[in-house]
Structure 1
């Protein structure tokens, strides 16, 4: 009985160790699957926010680089697009913001976007699936764009709030 249980245990162990090898082959080739079909679409901005953003050259450059990201079909295309986005984000960070958008709400969402941008780059460099971090990064970018709409739509007069004239 002991011999039979040992043989079964060895057999089960060998079966559990055997895999299809697809994961090992993907990392050996340096090519992990990137599912571009799952990427969320860019959030549309209202006309007033679009007008203000069109005059902001650094943001336009970032937005056009993000359009290139949507055309990425594999990790090689993705890493090139991410490197370009990182450079454009650095320029945006140092740029002069339009007066209405020079607020911490915008800058904090930009930092979150940068964090997820770096997370995508790290997942690619560490040979991990980059689909989920890319989706998170695009959701952070949409939150960044949504905040432009929020600021344009809700311009409150501080004097009314503070009861000052």
Structure 2
């Protein structure tokens, strides 16, 4: 009699564990979908900034990689996109900047963007919730794009800007 009760409880235990594993997979996918839907949007560029940036191939590659982030359906796809963003960001950092954007304000915002990309990559590798670091990364990228707009719309003479560095 005790053997029958033991086997019956073992079967119930195994059956209940299998159903719970299916539920966690669905929850994981729905969490990624809600995370992806809550991301801030990428800000636009002025036509002046866009005219300068269209010839900068490394920046255009980074921008295309960044756009893929919004279309990734699964977190595994997003991990691949982050790897691509890291590679393109390294190429951008090593590339020759357009003369108008070869200033410390642009390079500083680019380093901040790199920091948050690596933070997001770390969250993904350690299976932590990447939502906060993703939002910070997008804000840093928007700040970089906004700085492009500020530089091209700046009406201050170059002498004043050079005087500020001293």
Normalising by structure 1, report the TM-score.
0.77
Q: Report which of the two has the higher share of helix.
A: 2
State the match for 2:31 in structure 1: 33
Question: Which ranges in structure 2 are unaligned for 5 or more consecutive residues?
Answer: 1-19
Aligned residues: 139
Indicate yes or no: 2:143 matched with 1:143. Answer: yes
Question: Could you say which residue in structure 2 is the equivalent of 1:43?
Answer: 43
Q: Which residue number in structure 1 is paired with residue 65 of structure 2?
A: 65
CA distance in 1 between partners of 2:158 and 2:78 (Å): 44
Determine if contact 1:79/1:124 at 8 Å carries over to the other structure.
yes
Residues 72 and 46 of structure 1, relative CA distance in 2, 3 Å threshold: same
Alpha-carbon RMSD across the aligned residues, in angstroms, is: 2.3
Q: CA deviation at 1:155?
A: 4.1
Match of 2:108 in 1: 108
Specify every segment of 5 or more residues in structure 1 that has no aligned partner in the other structure, as ranges: 1-20
Report deviation, 1:32.
Answer: 8.8
**TM superposition score normalised by structure 2:** 0.76
- Show the counterpart of 1:87: 87
Question: In 2, distance between residues paired with 1:119 and 1:32?
Answer: 23
- Secondary structure at 1:52 match in 2: helix
Question: In structure 1, what is the equivalent of residue 154 of structure 2?
Answer: 154
